[in-house]
A and B are shown apart, each in its own frame.
Chain A
């Protein structure tokens, strides 16, 4: 590691220090509150109890259930984002199709996912498909909206330049629309990455024999709140990791100055 890279790592660590501090303060408040109010442990486990549950069950949960949930989430994410980008490409090149289909994209977005999940379970059973489909559905809209916006976010001057060069549609698409849309696409993908984990878990609630959603719902039947908290903590940690993986890809892809959109 060069000294410049090292100082970048140190910088990043220093920058995340305040966020970590908030986390620690939250844990302490939680611990103190549970102990002071003397609430029943089966309803409100303390932070330390959840911690020890995580230590005991975490590794096996992560290796098995969380792995499944993330496979579903990532597959759904890829499927939904891919479909959304394709749809955006069609929209940008055929305004008419956009006018016809965009209202339906909004309808699709307003359909309560929780209500669709049981239906898919009836159709597909306790398989991978319903989870992937739900995760894909939930990813579709944010990626579609951002990508369409990105394809349109080209200046009229840049388009004039391409016309002066007598560029083909194909060339305009690859050399102008795609690069200028990337910041928007990644903004959409980052939103979708966290949503995909939620989608997979919701789908697992309605019919699954493995996965974090399954673990949480089973634990709720047994009033095993410690395990529920552990599941929640694990799944959101996985969501954060997924989000940051996309963020890292974004930094790799968008290397020019001021490329990334403000979040």
Chain B
């Protein structure tokens, strides 16, 4: 399957009318099909809001988004998106396996992965995220990080063309995170999905993405788009390359400047 590109043009989002919060301001970002883009920015700068706009859950107050010739809402209705929310958002009355199978149940004939083996597919996804022994547990019986992994398996279960991921690995230990990062790269390599990935970790962003987009806060604006110089497939060892350290340092510097600006603004 080939991915689908996204064009974000002059998107702005204002909450609560005239003197409300400006969450996003003049965001321009073109993502090509199959590209992996990471979004990094301070808390509250509008990353989740941008994902909601791209997926058609929220109408921007200005600008427009194009998803391969469709509006976000049309793309959403065609189930082009897989969304891993910032909270796991599992159904507590369904067991772990049932939650991964939920998209199949809801999509019915529209699920490209439909077939006699779909339960097998779900089990394999759970094994990939390290939860094979927890299929029959309820979400209330597993840890927060495990729930987040169930949500990831659920989003992957129907091969969406575009993956929107809102800090999916925030609640994980470093070791599990590394493993899932590799797995995610592997999945994207196979499916050719386009990914928009929010994270607070600059290292994670650089390791995963083809491009890293830095956002400033209030209003959320693009401050820098960095090309990541490493070719895919990548192994964990790229993190020890000098270029990796250099890019990490540069982007971290941007965030710190951002922090100082924010501090200075508050002191005025």
Which residues of chain A have a CB within 8 Å of any CB of chain B? 155, 157-158, 160-167, 171, 175-176, 179-180, 182, 254-259
Find out whether the CB atom of A167 lies under 8 angstroms from the CB atom of B106: yes
Q: How far is the CA of A163 from the CA of B107 in the complex (A)?
A: 11
CB of A158 within 8 A of CB of B140, answer no
Q: Please, which residues of chain A bring their CB within 8 A of the CB of B55? A: 164
Given known A-B contacts A164-B55, A164-B57, A258-B140, A158 and B106 have beta carbons under 8 A apart:
no
Contact A176 B91 (CB under 8 A): yes
Cβ of B76: which chain A residues have Cβ within 8 Å of it?
A: 163-164, 166
Contacts of B176 in A (CB 8 A): none
Which chain B residues border A167 with CB–CB below 8 Å?
A: 106
B79 nearest CB neighbor, chain A only: A166
B110 CB contacts on chain A under 8 angstroms: 166
Contact flags B88-120 to A (C-beta < 8 A → 1, else 0): 010111100000001101110010000000000
- Total count of chain B residues near the partner, CB < 8 A: 27
Chain A residue nearest in CB terms to B110: A166
Does A165 contact B79, Cβ atoms closer than 8 Å? yes
Judge whether A161 and B85 touch: CB under 8 Å.
yes
Q: What's the Cα separation between A175 and B103 when bound, in Å? A: 11
- Smallest beta-carbon distance A181→chain B, Å: 11
Given A161-B83, A165-B103, A259 contacting B92 (CB threshold 8 A)? yes
User: 3 closest pairs, A vs B, by CB?
Assistant: A257-B140, A157-B89, A165-B106
> Using Cβ atoms and an 8 Å threshold, which residues of chain A touch B57?
160, 163-164
Additional pairs, 6, CB under 8 Å, beyond known A166-B110, A167-B106: A161-B85, A164-B76, A166-B78, A256-B93, A257-B92, A258-B92
Q: Closest A-chain residue to B141, C-beta based?
A: A257
Contact at A259–B93, with CB atoms within 8 Å?
A: yes
Closest to B92 in A: A256
Majority-rule SS of B interface residues: mixed
Structural contact, A162 and B92, CB atoms closer than 8 A: no
> CA separation between A157 and B102, bound complex, in Å?
15
Q: Return B194 CB to nearest CB of chain A, in Å.
A: 15
**Do the beta carbons of B87 and A165 come within 8 Å of each other?**
no
- B78, B105, B110, B139 — most chain A CB neighbours (10 Å): B105
Are B107 and A165 touching (Cβ within 8 A)? yes
- Which single residue of chain A is at the shortest CB-CB distance from B83? A164
Which residues on A sit within 8 Å (CB–CB) of B93?
Answer: 179-180, 182, 254-256, 259
- Closest chain-B Cβ to A258's Cβ sits at a distance in Å of 6
Chain B residues contacting A164 (CB-CB under 8 Å) are 55, 57, 76, 79, 81-83
Q: List 30 A-B contacts (CB under 8 A).
A: A157-B85, A157-B87, A157-B89, A158-B89, A158-B91, A160-B52, A160-B57, A160-B83, A160-B89, A161-B85, A163-B57, A164-B57, A164-B76, A165-B106, A165-B107, A166-B76, A166-B110, A171-B106, A175-B106, A179-B93, A182-B93, A254-B93, A256-B92, A256-B138, A256-B139, A257-B138, A257-B140, A257-B141, A258-B140, A259-B93
**Residues A162 and B87 in contact in the complex (CB < 8 Å), given A179-B93, A258-B140:** no
Collect the chain A residues with CB atoms within 8 Å of residue B78's CB: 166
Residues of A contacting B224 in the complex (Cβ-Cβ under 8 angstroms) = none
CB distance from B99 to the nearest CB of A (A): 10
A245 vs B30: C-alpha distance in the bound complex, in angstroms?
61
Q: For A166, list chain B residues within 8 Å (CB).
A: 76-79, 107, 110
Q: Which residue on B lies nearest to A254, using beta carbons?
A: B93
Q: Which residues on A sit within 8 Å (CB–CB) of B83? A: 160-161, 164
Contact call B77/A161, Cβ cutoff below 8 A: no
- Which B residues, 139 to 165, have Cβ-Cβ distances below 8 Å to chain A? 139-141
Q: How far is the CB of A159 from chain B (nearest CB, A)?
A: 9
> B129-141 toward A: CB 8 Å interface, digit per residue (1/0)?
0000000001111
Whether B77 and A256, one on each chain, are in contact in the complex, defined by CB atoms closer than 8 angstroms, is no
- Which of A157, A165, A171, A182 has the most chain B CB atoms closer than 10 A to its own CB? A165
